[in-house]
Amino acid sequence: MSTPKLRPLKVTFEMDMAGVIYDPFVPPMLDGIIDWCLSPMVRKSKSAPTRGEEPEEIRLPFGTWHIGKQWGWCASALLPIEGETPQETIRYFRKRFRDNRITMTTGVINMQAGAMRDYNLPYTVQLPEKFVAYCLADRHTIHDLLRRNLKYLGQKKHRGMGMVIGFSVEVVENDYSLMCDGKAMRWLPTAEGLREVRLRPPYWNNNERVACCEVGDEYHGAISQP
């Protein structure tokens, strides 16, 4: 069986207009999404580690980059399509005291303050029409993983937020998985970085964090791609 050929790809996600809950300063990473898609089929453990535990890393179907002793996968962040600034809106979830748990409580029940209070929990919804990401991978592999496993992006999918209503994976001429016009398309290590993050999924884990540039910063480091 021949080895899949790695080619520069552009992945476009079309989003449902209900919106998506995510932090634009901590955008989703495409390798993190593919890691999530592969996890049930590859990882030995059925439960995720805590933030402080050493994670079980898996081989992802991307090319790799190397900067000094650091390395990662050639996959960019998910960003709104060029020229689009997504609208934002504030919505609310109703947090209610669970009446069926009243027998488990002690003392005076105060629904105006404290852990038992009823209140509206605000959250910010982004309304992008599409997200775009770039990677160095085999088109058929990425398309198949997304088709079979990805239905939502962001938080609160059980409330219908972040639904992916369509996507495309196309071969492009240039590789923008790491850099585009001198600007970083993902977190890359730099001594001047103010943010400490992992360089590979799972990004929420606290192990092996290093100082990195922000997505969209100008980057002048020497990157090698074997």
Q: pLDDT per residue over 167-206, tens digit each?
A: 999 999 999 999 999 999 999 999 989 899 999 999 999 9
59-84 pLDDT tens trace: 999 999 999 999 999 999 999 987 67
Report pLDDT for 114: 58
Q: Hey, which bits of 86-129 come out as E strands?
A: 87-95, 119-127
On whether the pTM is more than 0.75, the answer is: yes
Rounded to an integer, what distance in angstroms lies between the CA atom of residue 40 and that of residue 207? 22
Report pLDDT for 81: 84
Measured CA distances, 90 to 36, 119, 124, 125, 159 (Å): 28, 15, 5, 6, 15
112-165 pLDDT tens trace: 655 566 767 788 888 889 999 999 999 999 999 999 999 999 988 888 889 999
Residue 98: pLDDT band with limits 50, 70, 90: low
